[in-house]
Amino acid sequence: MMYQEALSAGDCIAQQLAQDAGRYTELGRSLRATNFHSVVTVARGSSDHASSYLAYLIMARMGRLVTSLPMSLVTLYKSPLVTRDTLAVSISQSGQSPDVVEPIQYFRAGGATTVALVNDDTSPLARAAEWTMPLHAGKEQSVAATKSFIASMVAGARLVAEWQDDAELRDGIAALPDSLRAASQVDWSAAIEVLAPARNIMVVGRGISFPVALEAALKFKETSALQAEAFSGAEIKHGPMALIEEGYPLLIFATRGPAQAGLVALAEEMRGRGARVLLAAPEDVASRDLLLPTAAIPDLDPIVAIQAFYMMAANLSKARGLDPDRPRHLSKVTRTN
């Protein structure tokens, strides 16, 4: 199911883009008319990684600082947060977890603008937010989120495109279904050869590619029982460097943009230290180990990058003798307070 659901991402995004255009336009107009002093995101797990991608887009394009809300401030500590003139965006596949719903209720009651990017538009989260934007990913059977994660990233990009009123970003988003279908055909079998016997791995990104590193590390743990940690390329030379030894695997996502040159240089340095580097980079990077597909514009590259990764991750799980559709100890909907 994980493989098939990941494979369907292009069609899911085509379905999403065919709907709610007027609603996104209206949301963008509302956001432009409001003077926000802060933005918070409210999410867990893969949805939090999609929130990190949204945060990069908002900070880079809109100039607003974005905070990932520690939900316990609301749900457990009952902290007196200032919510007025705040944009609160929650991302969720199920929209069921109380610690996602309660903060959105709290922020809305305090005068914030609240947005839910949620797959189940009948869920408690959908009812709690002022603006509910359905993901239209369809029912996701696999415990490991794939198409819903991609749909969350795309919905976040649509929000920013309309807020910024940016035609180039809109056009790039419109081309994503075909870009995702192409990305699902990229051959990452070389990664399976390296990682099938592995015990651990570092996953590295920087800037807008770091959310993809976070998501990849989670999927390694979730579907392959592979101890994985995500690091920014700017942080790996601090404490994490001490872990590098001969043959230690690193997966580096070097998407296009200002951070790419440093990540390519980091890959070469880590090879010199004995690491078994898997550098995922576009075709113009000669030292790449894995072909990283690209979108119409660099800001959308992480969306197609994770698509290529998901196809490999489903096959890696099987190569390690596991079932990606039945991760140990996990269920599809997680409810925390």
CATH code for residues 1-182: 3.40.50.10490
pLDDT for the residue numbered 336: 63
Q: What pLDDT does 242 receive?
A: 75
pLDDT digits (tens, 9 = 90+) for 161-186: 999 999 999 999 999 999 999 999 99
Is this prediction's pTM over 0.75?
yes
- Per-residue pLDDT tens over the stretch 271-312: 999 999 999 999 999 999 999 999 999 999 999 999 999 999
Stronger pLDDT, 322 or 332, i.e. the higher one = 322
CA distance 248 to 228: 12
Residue 330 scores a pLDDT above 50: no
Residues counted in the chain: 337
pLDDT > 70 in the chain, percent: 97
Q: Which residues have a Cβ under 8 Å from the Cβ of 158 and sit 6 or more positions away?
A: 17, 24, 133, 173
**Which pLDDT score, from 0 to 100, does residue 239 have?**
77
State pLDDT tens for residues 41-50: 999 999 999 9
Q: How large a percentage of the chain has pLDDT more than 90? A: 90
C-alpha dihedral sign at 107, 108, 114, 119: positive
The one-letter amino acid code at 93 reads: Q
Residues annotated as part of the active site: 332
Positive or negative: CA dihedral 327, 328, 334, 337: negative
Fold classification of 186-320 (topology level): Rossmann fold (3.40.50)
CB burial readout 50-87, b (16+ within 10 A) else e: bbbbbbbbbeeebeeebeebebeebbeeeeebebeebb
Tokens standing for residue 62: 């809109």
Average pLDDT of the chain to the nearest whole number: 95
Taking residue 147's Cβ as centre, other Cβ atoms within 10 Å add up to 28
Buried b (16+ CB within 10 A) or exposed e, 22-40: eebeebbeebeeeebeebb
Each residue's pLDDT tens digit, 84-95: 999 999 999 999
- Please state, in angstroms and rounded to a whole number, the distance separating the CA atoms of residues 135 and 16: 6
- Tens of pLDDT, residues 24-47: 999 999 999 999 989 999 999 999
Q: How many CB atoms lie within 10 A of CB 182?
A: 16
Rounded Cα gap, residues 59 and 332, in angstroms: 31
Start and end residues for every CATH 3.40.50.10490 domain found in the chain: 1-182, 186-320
For residue range 113-127, what is the model confidence (pLDDT) as tens digits?
999 999 999 999 999
Residue 237 pLDDT: 80
- Tokens (6 digits) for 264: 């390519």
Helix, strand, or coil (residue 309): helix
Give the pLDDT of residue 325: 82
pLDDT at 243 > cutoff 90: no
What six digits make up the tokens of 138? 């369809």
Q: Identify which has the larger pLDDT, 142 or 221.
A: 221
pLDDT at position 332 is: 44
